[in-house]
Structure 1
């Protein structure tokens, strides 16, 4: 099982996973996977199509919201991330990128206007994600 960082009861982020991780994630109750890495970012990285096929084979829905970097995350990307989470119908969601940081940024941006920036940053820190540089955007 990969190192999961729980940002909310229904959301965890992590670094790159592979098809072999998906059966354990399904057994742990994850029902959706959000991939925030662009295809071909690193040599040997599984493509979204391959990951989506492997995820669907074990009952995990897959969404692709690729962003090149945390700094490149837009409000539209955050809205798409929140829409994907909502589509999970309350089921557990795992979002991943190279390290989990881009996924955490999308979650945090999705909290803007609904929760205090300091609260979001503190919750991310408690999960092992340093989002202090994101405070001006929150």
Structure 2
């Protein structure tokens, strides 16, 4: 498991396994968010199994599948609303963690300065410079 802290509210990670749930719970996470659709690639664990294990370990479960190459404004809005109300800290996962980071970044636009968003993503190991123009558009929507 490769946990990457974005801020005190959210961390992201690449695909987790059911066997990771005891460690995730012991680290104090309260909410587990899956941004990866079932059957995105062969061999990935089914979300129903991860959900069951998450609940067994006392974690809130949020299944919010998003296509990595097609993050819509609705996806961003739903993710932002969920992050603001979820029991924290939150751990979000997808194939690599990038999709979760992009969702966090876009949902934070307008509330957090772009420079800080890019720095936090970079500190977590994610280069999201490719979404700079979309980040600026999101920030304009909120102003």
| Alignment TM class, shorter chain as reference | over 0.9
Q: 1:28-107 residue pairs with structure 2 within 5 A?
A: 28-69=27-68, 71-89=69-87, 91-107=88-104
Shift of 1:74: 1.5
Please state whether the residue corresponding to 1:3 is helix, strand or coil: coil
Q: What is the alpha-carbon root mean square deviation over aligned residues?
A: 1.1
Point out the structure with the larger strand share: 1
Please state whether the residue corresponding to 1:94 is helix, strand or coil: strand
Question: What is the TM-score when the length of structure 2 is the normalising length?
Answer: 0.89
1:78-120: per-residue Cα shift (whole Å, max 9, x none)? 121122223323x211000000000000000111111222221
Partner of 2:118: 121
Please state whether the residue corresponding to 1:8 is helix, strand or coil: coil
Shift of 1:64: 1.2
Structure 1 unmatched runs, 5+: none
Q: Is the 8 A contact 1:105 1:131 kept in 2?
A: yes
Question: What is the TM-score when the length of structure 1 is the normalising length?
Answer: 0.92
Q: How many residues align?
A: 135
